[in-house]
Amino acid sequence: MNVEFLAADTRPSETTALAVLAFEDGEYSPGAEAIDGAMGGALKRAVGASRFTGAAGQTVSILAPTGTPAGRVLVIGAGKQGAFDARAAESAGAHAWNAAKDSGSEALLLVMPPAGPERQAHAALGIRLASYRFDKYRTTEKPEKKPSVTSAAVAVADAAAAKAAFAALDGLADAINFTRDLVSEPANILYPQEYARRVGELTRLGLEVEVLGVKEMTALGMGSLLGVGQGSTRESQLVVIQWKGGGSAAPIAFVGKGVCFDTGGISIKPAEGMEEMITDMAGSGAVVGAMYALASRKAKVNAVGILGLVENMPDGNAQRPGDIVTSMSGQTIEVLNTDAEGRLVLADAVWYCQDRFKPQFMIDLATLTGAIVVALGKDLAGVYSNDESLAANLLAASEATGDTLWRMPLPPQYDKLMDSHAADVKNISGGRAGGSITAAMFIKRFVNGLPWAHIDMAGTAWKPNSTVPTIPSGATGFGVRLLDHLATKYEG
């Protein structure tokens, strides 16, 4: 849903849901005071007759009020007024959307307090993120099941200033929603070549996109990545995205796991829940979204995004447990479990990244292990890093964006757990203990000592029952904002 900015005195119509903010401790925004005055005090009486305290997310809905043409007035709880920062404004915008969307009203008009263009713009971002829907395949959905609200606007004192502040955030919303689309697409539609084609269209934003196929990857010696894809009829792809906004500085680099579908391969997964493995490319999706965001705000940084795109299938030509492959780094890998495929894809993708681009640092993102979900649950992604300043910057970006990270360890004594008797390294430790850590220890062997971070986001890419106001159930877009925000630290 696109969001417009309108003047504070915009007259609502009968089909409008007019949303105003109220804070905890009985404080009302000027917009709420004004509409309460026009309604002869009915707004505060309605609030008084309810359990509304102003806590974030609470709403009171007043139908057919007198004193305003709006068919509905929504009072949106915005939390403590002193804590009403950009993120709180974003949540308020999202809550306003969520309260209005199925109400029967056709337009949302959110009246923002004079809190400055930044917070006003973030309220609009909240609406854009909350109103995302992946409904392209729902051909028989009845109109009354679709959201009734078909337009959204934020009313502010200075619409031009808010609009200017919103430009970069609008691009960020486009980026996050682009990533959500990629993650939501089923695997029969979004296979590696189709994925690469869609990324190729982003040259319209000024990104440079190159696509390597099996022939090119074979020439580079990427036996680890290619082994994963060899059981699929869909050709594996390595996509290289570049944003050149930083002059001659060394780039920052993001590398994403793009397993378009993970059956487990010959080490096949159980049927139950396997459909969720359409999201096993979400790490690469975050990389695409971050590059999209950087390009749309013309970030003053050089950035490289690398996507390792494969489909992990069982087949007569599939890789077997016990196979030994040679990675681009020269290290041989004993593949003891074909379902530990993400790390095999990343081994070649991160090696290629450091070899070709000599970046300042690399961050890889992957829906890598069920073990990280056991360790951290579904709201936190694990972050591993060999570099304290990169780790600190990532944790700060996590704090600022709400893409929540929790630091995990890289214990040197666990490195030997990945030693193989038959090859240089094996792709599983052999036990379940510390499964996300041992996966990180595996990838670490392919980063060639560069400053590096690894984000295991298996728990956070997909929320079937989201309770976060800015995240509709489904693909979260996790990681896009995190990387976009992190990049600001490295801009010239």
* Residue number, 266 or 397, with CB nearest to ligand BES: 266
* Residue number, 176 or 259, with CB nearest to Zn ion: 259
In angstroms, the CA 357 to CA 243 distance is: 13
* Region 80-119 residues binding Mn ion, contact defined as CB under 5 A: none
Among 185, 262, 456, 484, binds Mn ion (CB under 5 A): 262
Q: Considering CB distances under 5 to 8 angstroms, the limit depending on partner class, which of Zn ion, ligand BES, Mn ion, none binds residue 408?
A: none
If one asks whether residue 342 binds Zn ion (CB under 5 A), the answer comes out as yes
Closest separation in Å from C-beta 476 to ligand BES: 12
In angstroms, the CA 159 to CA 181 distance is: 30
* Residue number, 126 or 435, with CB nearest to ligand BES: 435
Q: How far is CA 318 from CA 18, 116, 214, 228, 312, in A?
A: 58, 58, 15, 8, 8
Burial of 460 by CB count in 10 Å (0-12 exposed, 13-18 middle, 19+ buried)?
Answer: buried
Question: Given the rule CB under 6 A, which residues bind ligand BES?
Answer: 262, 280, 337, 339-342, 367-371, 428, 435, 458
Cβ neighbours of residue 26 closer than 8 Å, sequence gap 6 or more: 54
Q: How far is CA 358 from CA 80, 81, 125, 306, 350, in A?
A: 47, 47, 35, 13, 11
Closest separation in Å from C-beta 268 to Mn ion: 10
Q: Considering CB distances under 5 to 8 angstroms, the limit depending on partner class, which of ligand BES, Zn ion, Mn ion, none binds residue 309?
A: none
* Residue number, 59 or 337, with CB nearest to ligand BES: 337
Q: Which position's Cβ is nearest Mn ion?
A: 339
Q: What is the DSSP string of 126-175?
A: HHHHHT----TT-TT--GGGS-S--EEEEEES-HHHHHHHHHHHHHHHHH
Closest separation in Å from C-beta 435 to ligand BES: 6
If one asks whether residue 339 binds Mn ion (CB under 5 A), the answer comes out as yes
In angstroms, the CA 426 to CA 402 distance is: 35
Q: Considering CB distances under 5 to 8 angstroms, the limit depending on partner class, which of Zn ion, Mn ion, ligand BES, none binds residue 476?
A: none
Q: Is 206 left (phi over 0), alpha (psi -120 to 50) or beta?
A: left
Is 269 annotated in the active site? Answer: yes
Q: Considering CB distances under 5 to 8 angstroms, the limit depending on partner class, which of ligand BES, Mn ion, Zn ion, none binds residue 364?
A: none
In angstroms, the CA 382 to CA 406 distance is: 5
* Residue number, 394 or 428, with CB nearest to ligand BES: 428
Catalytic residue among 343, 426, 463, 481: 343
Give the neighbor-by-neighbor strand order of the sheet with 237-244: 208-212, 237-244, 302-312, 252-262, 361-366, 452-456, 381-385, 405-407
Q: Considering CB distances under 5 to 8 angstroms, the limit depending on partner class, which of Zn ion, ligand BES, Mn ion, none binds residue 60?
A: none
φ and ψ of 418, to 5 deg: -100, 5
Find the part of the chain contacting Mn ion (CB under 5 A) among 59-67, 318-326, 337-345, 404-412: 337-345
Are 148 and 105 a contacting pair, CB within 8 Å?
yes
Is 343 annotated in the active site? Answer: yes
* Residue number, 88 or 376, with CB nearest to ligand BES: 376
Catalytic residue among 133, 146, 198, 269: 269
Q: Which position's Cβ is nearest ligand BES?
A: 370
Structure tokens at 172: 């960020």
* Residue number, 36 or 311, with CB nearest to Mn ion: 311
If one asks whether residue 311 binds Mn ion (CB under 5 A), the answer comes out as no
If one asks whether residue 262 binds Zn ion (CB under 5 A), the answer comes out as yes
Q: What is the DSSP string of 255-280?
A: EEEEEEEE--TTSPPPSTTGGGGGGT
* Region 241-260 residues binding Zn ion, contact defined as CB under 5 A: 259
Q: Considering CB distances under 5 to 8 angstroms, the limit depending on partner class, which of ligand BES, Mn ion, Zn ion, none binds residue 314?
A: none
Are 449 and 458 a contacting pair, CB within 8 Å?
no
Residues carrying an active site annotation: 269, 343
Which residues contribute to the site for Zn ion (CB under 5 A)? 259, 262, 280, 342
Q: Which residues are near Mn ion by CB under 5 A?
A: 262, 339, 341
